[in-house]
Amino acid sequence: MIFSDKACEFRSRSDLQTAWGRWRREAIDGSVAQLSGAFRRLSGSDATIFLDAKGESRLPYPLPPRERRRFHLVAIARPSEDPATLPHEWHHLTCVSEVSGIPFEVEPIRIGELPVHVFDGQAIDLLLTMLDTAPDFIAYLEGRAEALATSASYRFVEEDLLAISIQNWAAGSGLSPAVPALTSVVKGRWAEYQKSGRAGRSTALNTNSRTVDRIIEHFHEVFEQQLYVNESAPGILEHEHALRLLAAESRFSRRMVVTPLYDILQEHNQSVPWTSTVPSPREPSLRYLWLIYPDPPLGMDPDSFVRLVDAQLRHQTLVICGEFRPSVVVAVALPNGKGNENVVIMRVFDGSNWTDDDRREAQRLKEMGLFGSMTATDYLHRP
pLDDT in tens, 209-258: 999 999 999 999 988 887 766 566 677 888 888 899 999 999 999 999 99
| 250 is a domain residue | yes
- Are residues 242 and 104 part of one domain? no
What pLDDT score was predicted for residue 232? 66
Residue 102: how many other CB atoms lie within 10 Å: 11
- 73-78 vs 114-120, strand pairing mode: parallel
Same domain assignment for residues 152 and 284: no
**Inside any domain, residue 277:** yes
Query: Could you tell me if 191 and 204 lie in one domain?
Result: no
Do 98 and 230 fall into the same domain? no
Contacts of 171 (CB under 8 A, 6+ apart): 178, 180
SS3 104: coil
pLDDT in the model for residue 12: 78
pLDDT at 117 over 70: yes
In order, the DSSP letters of 321-346 are HHHH--SEEEEEEEE-SSSS----EE
Task: Give CB contacts under 8 A, 24+ apart, made by 18-26.
Answer: 19/89, 19/103, 20/103, 20/104, 23/79, 24/77
Residues spanned by the domain of 234: 199-367
103 plus 214 within the same structural domain: no
In a domain, 382, yes or no: no
Q: Which of 198, 224, 239 is at the close of a domain? A: 198
Q: Are residues 215 and 114 in the same domain?
A: no
Is 356 a member of any domain? yes
Q: What is the pLDDT of residues 25-83, one digit of tens each?
A: 999 999 999 999 999 999 988 888 999 999 999 988 888 899 999 999 999 999 998 88
Residue 310 within a domain:
yes
User: Do residues 223 and 137 share a domain?
Assistant: no
Q: Check if the beta carbon of residue 297 is closer than 8 Å to that of residue 313.
A: no
Rounded distance between C-alpha atoms, residue 224 and residue 232, angstroms: 13
Quick one: 94 exposed, middle or buried, by C-beta within 10 A (0-12, 13-18, 19+)? middle
Euclidean distance between CA atoms 109 and 112, whole angstroms: 10
Do 21 and 80 belong together in one domain?
A: yes
Do 153 and 280 sit in the same domain of this protein? no
193 and 296 fall within a common domain: no
Domain-terminating residue out of 153, 174, 198: 198
Global model pTM greater than 0.85: yes
Number of domains in the chain: 2
% of residues, the chain, pLDDT over 70: 98
Task: Identify the helix (H) or strand (E) that includes residue 254.
Answer: helix 251-265
Alpha carbons 82 and 9: distance in angstroms, whole number: 9
Q: Is 225 inside a domain boundary? A: yes
Tell me the per-residue pLDDT of 148-207, one tens digit each, with 9 for 90 and over.
999 989 999 999 999 999 999 888 889 999 999 999 899 999 999 999 989 999 999 999
pLDDT category, 10, cuts 50, 70, 90?
Answer: very high
d(C-alpha 197, C-alpha 204), whole Å: 11
- Verify that 240 and 207 share a domain, yes or no: yes
Same domain, 163 and 236: no
- Inter-residue contact 252 to 381 (CB < 8 Å): yes
> Residue 362 corresponds to which amino acid?
A
**Which secondary structure element, helix H or strand E, spans residue 215, and what is its range?**
helix 197-225
Q: For the chain, give the percent of residues with pLDDT over 90.
A: 67
Q: SS3 for 117?
A: strand
Q: Kindly state the helix (H) or strand (E) to which residue 85 belongs, with its residue range.
A: none
Residue 119 lies in a domain: yes
Residue 196 contacts residue 325 (beta carbons within 8 Å): no
Q: Which of 177, 198, 219 is the last residue of a domain?
A: 198
Residue 213 lies in a domain: yes
Average pLDDT over all residues of the chain: 91
